[in-house]
C-alpha cells in the first residue's frame, strides 16, 4: 500500500513539475543564476503548504516526522557537491524523472552521475566521518526546540512566512521574468 501511495504521489509531483515547466533545463539554469525565480517560488510554495498541513496532522498522529542529525560541515560540503552536480547536469533529482517524457537524453548522464556520486560517498563515508560528521554535530535539532515554541505554531508560522515571501517575490519579479519554454510542445530545450 505504501509503495502504491508513493507511486501516486511521485506521479502527481512529476506532473506538476512538468506542467509548471520547472523540469526545463532553462528554468533550472535561470534559478541557479538568479535570473528566473519560477522554480524557487514553486518549491517554496510546496514547502510552505506542506508545513501548514503536516504539523497539525502530526499532532493527530497521522503524520510522523523522522528528524535527521544536524552536522553542519557535512551538510555544507554535501550541498556544494549537490549544487555543482545540479549545475553541470541541468537537473535536480525531482526534475530528472520529469525530463524523461520529453525525450531529453541528458537524463541518462544525470542518473549515471547520481549513482556514481552515491557510490563514491558510500566508499569515503567512514574515512571522512571525523572530518565531515563529527565536528559541529548538533544532534537532532529542530527549530521549535531551539526557539522553545509549540511545534504546530512553529510549523504553521514558518509555512505562512514562506508563502508570504513567495507573494512578495512574485510581486518584485513579475515584470522581468523570462519566458520558460513549454515542455508539452517540445522535446528538450
DSSP-based three-state secondary structure for 71: strand
Residue 185: the pLDDT is: 52
73's CB contacts (< 8 A; 6+ apart) are 131, 132, 133, 135, 136
Q: How far is CA 185 from CA 26, 97, 102, in A?
A: 15, 18, 9
Q: Which pLDDT tens digit goes with each residue over 41-86?
A: 988 999 999 999 999 998 888 888 888 888 899 889 888 888 888 8
Once rounded to an integer, what is the mean pLDDT over residues 26-34?
82
Give the distance, in angstroms, between the CA of residue 26 and the centroid of all CA atoms in the same chain.
17
Q: Which pLDDT tens digit goes with each residue over 94-152?
A: 777 777 666 667 777 888 888 888 898 899 889 988 988 888 888 898 999 999 999 99
* Residue entry with cell 565536528: 135
Residue 189: the pLDDT is: 46
Cα(19)–Cα(95) distance, rounded to whole angstroms? 12
Whole-prediction pTM value?
A: 0.75
Amino acid at each position: 500500500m505504501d509503495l502504491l501511495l508513493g507511486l501516486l504521489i511521485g506521479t502527481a509531483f512529476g506532473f506538476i513539475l512538468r506542467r509548471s515547466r520547472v523540469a526545463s533545463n532553462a528554468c533550472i539554469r535561470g534559478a541557479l543564476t538568479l535570473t528566473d525565480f519560477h522554480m524557487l517560488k514553486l518549491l517554496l510554495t510546496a514547502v510552505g503548504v506542506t508545513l501548514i498541513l503536516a504539523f497539525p496532522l502530526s499532532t493527530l498522529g497521522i503524520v510522523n516526522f523522522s528528524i535527521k542529525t544536524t552536522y553542519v560541515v557535512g551538510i555544507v560540503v554535501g550541498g556544494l557537491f549537490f549544487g555543482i552536480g545540479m549545475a553541470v547536469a541541468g537537473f535536480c533529482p525531482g526534475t530528472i524523472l520529469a525530463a524523461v517524457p520529453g525525450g531529453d537524453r541528458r537524463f541518462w548522464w544525470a542518473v549515471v552521475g547520481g549513482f556514481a556520486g552515491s557510490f563514491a560517498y558510500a566508499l569515503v563515508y567512514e574515512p571522512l566521518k571525523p572530518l565531515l560528521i563529527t565536528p559541529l554535530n548538533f544532534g537532532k535539532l529542530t527549530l521549535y526546540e531551539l526557539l522553545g515554541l509549540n511545534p504546530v505554531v512553529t510549523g504553521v508560522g514558518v509555512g505562512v512566512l514562506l508563502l508570504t515571501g513567495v507573494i512578495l517575490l512574485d510581486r518584485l519579479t513579475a515584470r522581468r521574468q523570462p519566458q520558460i519554454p513549454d515542455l508539452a510542445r517540445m522535446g528538450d530545450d
